[in-house]
Chains A and B, each alone.
Chain A
């Protein structure tokens, strides 16, 4: 009985190749069944996410299984896949690789947590369809335990790595659950849209969009399920909102200290979070000096995201050491 893993990911294959071999989640169990029809294959699990598709198999002879698997994959992709897109792991390397995958160490965003759940669902699909047994059951359960330990003990998932996620984290640090928070977007640009969507995905209650071209505001408001506001009315909306995302193309500051001062009393001095992702900046620096205002510009957000990425990268050695130690403890590797 030998372990085999064959796959491709965001580092080895561009998206047009990855999408050819991707397996939709409802078809994972059935695909495992087709893999077991290959000669000498006893067990199979398929992991398929937007960044990777990987086949984990147990067979009599790893060389034979790999050769058949390459053929299967090319057939599934509709054309032969170049070797440069694929990577293969055998024996204890399979366990090591799977542990790195579930720990988020092999992900595009280092330490991301989604892959853990995706791998669990992929394993569950194979298990429920009856395509796993002693070999892969043990391997995956151990990998999940190691992944949990890596995430608990190290800081691999601590801190955010993108401007949008940093902004959302800060908003949650100020307001807690965002379900009671209202957001205003100034400027209907791409960055505003992404950041607003991040806030909505974490439960922000309502969104107002103000843009110099009203039609664009309406368009973005419709996309976000919010309300469009005439650009000359944004200051009135400021009385109600908790978060302001600004990314207009204006050559000068749009929001000045006096604008905020005028609405402080009506806002009852509630905290107000400004996310200024425009260059040149939309929000005057003096606004951040008002007691209940928290102002973050694009450079600060980018710096925090960079620090998050660096902090995560600094954890890689420690994560690998934990994986090695745990796999040794479990007797998976010598």
Chain B
């Protein structure tokens, strides 16, 4: 196993550890400070993996499905590290860590990461821009979906008047969660706009189904945000939609 896979395995262990410590702390009715530390560790190890793969390929490491998943997991952790502490969205790490771990575990499956990636001689700047921004946008969408899931859980507890759990006590307020969903979806839509525009500038042109799914995803998020800002939408519907849209939009990677 090459160094990059060890780094990826290490990042996965850190994500599992971060999520596990978060859950254990929650059972005691507290928040785990170590989740953030573990996620920071995972982020650095992911950077190591992506750095080595980028060096091997001579371009942005998005050449196989495994790399795409790791890049996606990295952008998810990146936005968590940027958004979580700033907006005091506590527990976001505990909800994010399992998703990161799943993405990376799938990437670690045999055959997902090309053991001998081809080193390219010529790189298309537009292709690199498209790939990087598109995957970054998916990181933001993924985190919006995580915040949406947190809202659904909190909403259920508030509506059902089940207020005695450690999870309830530690979840951030409804308003903060909704604001996070909107900010992350807006950020993702902005990044995907750059991704989509650059796709149309690529020398080879964008591939058919992949392009169509990406454009539909982009349009869907823009419509959702338009509805939110123009006429408003209930927090529950907003959250459900960002979860469903992110899950469906993962289809785009099936057509890379």
Contacts and interface: CB of A to CB of B under 8 A. Distances in A.
Nearest to B164: A307
B209 to A, nearest CB: 35
16 contacts: A170-B163, A173-B154, A173-B158, A174-B174, A176-B172, A176-B175, A268-B232, A269-B233, A269-B235, A270-B232, A271-B235, A291-B236, A292-B235, A294-B158, A294-B159, A311-B164
Interface string B222-245: 000000000111111100000000
Contact of B29 (A155, A172, A288): A155
Interface string B155-199: 000110101100011011111101000000000000000000000
Interface of B: 29, 154, 158-159, 161, 163-164, 168-169, 171-176, 178, 231-237
Contacts of B164: 159, 307, 311
B235 to A, nearest CB: 6
Given A170-B163, A174-B158, A176-B173, 18 more contacts: A173-B154, A173-B158, A173-B168, A173-B171, A173-B174, A174-B175, A175-B173, A175-B175, A176-B172, A267-B232, A268-B232, A269-B232, A269-B234, A288-B159, A291-B234, A292-B234, A304-B161, A304-B163
What size tier do the contact residues of chain A reach? 20 to 34
A64 B234 CA distance: 71
B171 to A, nearest CB: 8
Nearest to A301: B161
Interface in A285-311: 288, 291-292, 294, 296, 300, 304, 307, 311
A329 interface: no
A296 B176 CA distance: 21
Contacts of B237: 291
A292 B168 CA distance: 18
Contacts of B172: 176
A265 B169 CA distance: 31
A291 B161 CA distance: 14
